[in-house]
Amino acid sequence: MNKTPEKLRSVDLFAGCGGLSLGLKQAGFSHVLAVEKSEMAAETFFHNLVKRLETEDEWPGYVSDSIDDQFVRGLVVGELQKVLDSDRIFESLREKEIDLVAGGPPCQGFSLAGRRDPSDKRNDLPWQFLEFVERVQPKTVVMENVAGMRQAFRKHGKASPFEELQRALEETGRGYKVQPMALNAKHFGVAQNRPRVFLVGLRADLATDNMVFTAEAWDSHRDLDPASGEDMRPTLAPWATHGLPEGTELIPSWDAISDLAFHKNTNSAFVSPYVKDLNGRVLVPASQALAGATAKVLRNHVRRKHGERVQDRFRLYHQFSEYKIDPLILTVSADTEMSATQKREFVTLKISQAQEKFGFDKKTARKLIEDSLRLGTKKHSQRALNPKQPAPTVVSLPDDFVHPFEARTLTVRELARFQSFPDTFEFRSKETTGGPRRKFEVPQYTQVGNAVPPLLAKAIGNHLRAILSQNQCNTEQDNQLAQSA
């Protein structure tokens, strides 16, 4: 079956709230199926990528539908194993000729030996992903995981989970030519420093002799170095677009949220160029008809309430940022094993060093010392954002990010901006959670933190689409030559 480049079909496993699918859709892929076990994250996916939810009972009704009915709508809510158990679904998928299967199964404990050890539950989800690929035989495969997967490729003489997973994908189905990659979202127009590792596979029968594959993981940072050359640049690696020596600069965090700083939930008169571009390029399919109406109200921009002491600590972080003082000194102030004298000596030394460098007056120094001793905390990673740099990696907990100018943490919408979600993408379900519920609930903050940035997904999708399009053209030319011979 011949398909034009506009008709490429994709499947998203472990889909979360839909960042990967949204980006692939913008790259010209037609969404066929997503699978997500969390009802919270799946609700957001459905609301934005399938159909806008209008009533309270619409989503519970969908969740209770049969797997066959959900498959027809394009989103299965439940474990991937439910899909693997349905021969009818796979018969339909094979008829559709899937071009891309993507997903990010947790792989930290993956081992090739695990297939021979059913009791090792760490292997279940990666093997389910690979079984899906084997049965569907897509033209391309994209697997995403955290950057730590790439560290210590070989430890104590053993292959890392990342290497093991690459080998398993290479041997799946008809076989795949696999390129490992380390891609940072900031190199693709995202206002965030977010390094992630990917395995991108092209079905072996589609690979040509002139394609380049490297055993070493390709790092998107190498595109920023003119000396790196193109001779050994992997064919499947998307080109970086931001941070190049003579190109577009990296997007600082302030460009993403500056228009949200001083209003509650309505759009201000000024919107940054980054946000205008983002909202213009990344369209949410299920919201396009409502774009005019929803643009007047900004969703998911609810400021969290903090006590006065916490707000004082946040203001202190702002000063630390201004004077380049390590906020970890507050953990020293909270250290129960140090005496009050030891704490004061340590804090005084650090503040004095900053005073010598920046030249602020003695009154400011004394206040910084007293506030640092008074506002100690055990939070090691909390600090104010640097407005001039891309945001740090967005995580599933909101407490690490302190607004660069306001005494508060960031809203769901602000973190979504860092992830390159457009404002028309509305996150559903509860905003946050805590305690034991963290193990199974996926609220809005977690949905944002777990997502693949749509702009990064779009860059990967555009690149693979171009490769598949060229492959199709070559095949058609070969067929024409064969017929004319």
pLDDT digits 0-9 by tens, 130-145: 999 999 999 999 999 8
Name every residue whose Cβ is closer than 8 Å to that of residue 381 and which is 6 or more positions away in sequence: 400
Residue 57: DSSP 8-state: T
State how many domains the chain has.
1
Residue 152: per-residue pLDDT: 41
CATH number of the CATH domain containing 56? 3.40.50.150
Domain contains 139: yes
Domain contains 392: no
Domain contains 325: no
Domain contains 244: yes
Residue 336: per-residue pLDDT: 93
CB-CB contact of 465 with 27 (8 Å)? yes
Q: What is the SS3 assignment for 345? A: helix
Residue 263: per-residue pLDDT: 53
Domain contains 212: yes
- H or E element that contains 143: strand 140-146
Domain contains 428: no
Domain contains 86: yes
- The boundaries of the domain holding residue 465 are 5-250+452-484
Residue whose entry in the numeric block shows the structure tokens 């021979």: 116
How far is it, in rounded angstroms, from Cα 21 to Cα 32?
A: 10
Residue 253 has pLDDT above 90, yes or no: yes
- H or E element that contains 51: none
Which range, of 64-68, 86-90, 154-158, 189-193, averages the lowest pLDDT? 154-158
Which range, of 220-229, 408-417, 446-455, averages the lowest pLDDT? 220-229
Name every residue whose Cβ is closer than 8 Å to that of residue 59 and which is 6 or more positions away in sequence: 43, 46, 47, 53, 428
How far is it, in rounded angstroms, from Cα 281 to Cα 287?
A: 14
Residue 208: per-residue pLDDT: 95
CA distances from 358 to 317, 368, 388 (A): 16, 14, 19
Least Cα distance to 343 among 329, 357, 355 occurs for: 329
Q: What is the SS3 assignment for 421? A: coil
pTM of the model: 0.91
Domain contains 330: no
Average pLDDT over residues 94-111: 86
Sign of CA dihedral 257, 261, 267, 272: negative
CB-CB contact of 305 with 433 (8 Å)? no
Task: Show which residues are catalytic.
Answer: 107
